[in-house]
Structure 1
């Protein structure tokens, strides 16, 4: 289990577990609309670094119907260092997932998929309207949740992004 001292104060301030956890929860809410069985927890390790990188979020397609492979081939330059970036985000993603699990907001099932727990947390908190960064991040997480839910499999998403799980 990670402790907060694994990250610098600046990293904790920017990527605190509650913030990242809420964004992952928003992503999961969109994902389960299409796939009620849940989102494989490994996808969280792609979602977070993608959605918290403005260079990537600015290039996201306009519609979830765009195949990931098509988007990837037209944005290879933006994604050239993505594998290293995803690796750097592992502790941040772990802390966000742990935050959600400790509060029973998500449950990881026997297939390794995150499913929604019981919660009445607002889907669009007013706080997110006060910051363009937070609002853009929330939109990106929701979009990626919907987009990834239409992919054939978790393995396909990883393969198309050139990442080994």
Structure 2
């Protein structure tokens, strides 16, 4: 189902490492849940968030505050969003792999409706001395977690991004 580690490029193995993606998801989920009445987050939200967070151009184009509406951000950054469906398609196997990792390591659980309950909220010790790029990725995950509380249903976001669920 997944590429063998030996067959992955070094960049792919690092950027799409299941533990790294799980940490990004944990940060996103913690921020989302801290800023909403929801007690769970969804796979659809992760499918939208991770490609934005991991793509440097998209990440750097994120607004400074959540006052900017998502559709406005898409209009301003249409040139970056143009192939978003292809980005989702390319990263989806790695997202699935990170979900399996996260459940196996009790970072979050998945209920019968397919929503995620965050089990681990403390940040790991390895955060000290992280690379600037990693810090930017984690900062974007925090922002998107807060910003997603302002979003309509994920299916509307999929439509705006040109992704078919």
**TM-score normalised by structure 2 residue count:** 0.88
Aligned to 1:15: 16
Q: Could you state the TM-score of these two structures normalised by the residue count of structure 1? A: 0.88
- Ranges of 4+ aligned residues in structure 1 off by more than 6 Å: none
Which residues of 2 match residues 137-148 of structure 1 at below 5 A?
A: 137-148=137-148
Q: Which residue of 1 aligns with 2:155?
A: 155
Which residue, 107, 110, 113 being the options, matches 1:108? 110
8 A contact 1:148–1:157 mirrored in 2: no
Q: 1:37, 1:113 within 8 Å by CA — same for their partners in 2?
A: no
For residue 64 of structure 1, the aligned residue among 66, 86, 110 is: 66
Distance 2:121 2:148 in 1: 23
User: Which residue matches 2:78?
Assistant: 76
Q: Deviations over 1:86-105 (max 9, x none)?
A: 11001111121111111111
**Residue 132 of structure 2 is aligned to residue 132 of structure 1:** yes
- Alpha-carbon deviation of 1:114? 1.1
CA drift of 1:3 comes to 4.3
**Structure with the largest fraction of helix:** 2
Which of 69, 74, 93 is the aligned partner of 1:91? 93
Q: After superposition, what is the alpha-carbon deviation per residue over 1:119-162, rounded to whole angstroms, capped at 9, x for unaligned?
A: 5444982143xx11100000111111111122121222212222
Does the Cα contact within 8 Å between 1:68 and 1:160 map onto a contact in 2? no
Aligned residues of 2:53 and 2:59 also touching (Cα < 8 A): yes
User: How far, CA to CA, are the matches of 2:97 and 2:113 in structure 1?
Assistant: 21
RMSD: 2.0
